[in-house]
Amino acid sequence: MANLHAHVVRAQASLSLFTEFGEDGFRPQERRAEELKSVLGQVVELAGKLRA
């Protein structure tokens, strides 16, 4: 385990299959906007670091 490289995104977003996904696609509830913004922001930041 000496050479373990773990890349972590700490933010989480809990989505419901019943209320946020439907026949017309993905429609998150308004309260999820900040959660999703945080998760995606961290993913983009990590991706940028991994490219460097």
Question: 7 pLDDT band (50/70/90 cuts)?
Answer: confident
Q: What would the DSSP string read from start to end of 4-45? A: -------------TTTSEETTEE---GGGHHHHHHHHHHHHH
User: At residue 25, what are phi and psi to the nearest 5 degrees?
Assistant: 110, -155
Q: What is the pLDDT of residue 1?
A: 53
At 30-50, the pLDDT tens digits run 889 899 999 999 999 999 988
The pTM score is 0.71
